């Protein structure tokens, strides 16, 4: 899901996953020749990916009270914005 915040033609999108020390990293890169709003598309992609991962893994994390004591989604940010591509993590 990449809702268009601005009417820009998205020419490509990639999603990369990495297992890190006690964490799962999702990086989304969006490619376009336009510059306005492309970072919003990448940020939305990261959030959608992480929410999907949370939903698939919640049975591992959930405690006996139905809570998630240590799972957290954090540090969602734009890593780089350059002409033609934006990466968000």
Residues marked active site are found at: 55
What is the C-alpha separation between 18 and 74, in angstroms, rounded? Answer: 15
What is the C-alpha separation between 20 and 63, in angstroms, rounded? Answer: 23
Helix, strand, coil percentages in the chain from 3-state DSSP, rounded to 5: 25, 30, 45
What is the C-alpha separation between 88 and 32, in angstroms, rounded? Answer: 14
């Amino acid at each position: 899901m990449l809702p268009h915040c601005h009417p820009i033609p998205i020419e490509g999108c990639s999603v990369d996953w990495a297992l890190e020390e006690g964490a799962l990293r999702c990086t989304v890169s969006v490619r376009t020749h336009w510059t306005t709003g492309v970072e919003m598309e990448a940020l939305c992609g990261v959030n959608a990916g992480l929410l999907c991962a949370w939903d698939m893994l919640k049975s591992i994390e959930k405690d006996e009270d139905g809570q998630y004591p240590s799972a957290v989604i954090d540090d969602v940010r734009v890593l780089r914005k350059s002409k033609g591509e934006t990466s968000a993590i």
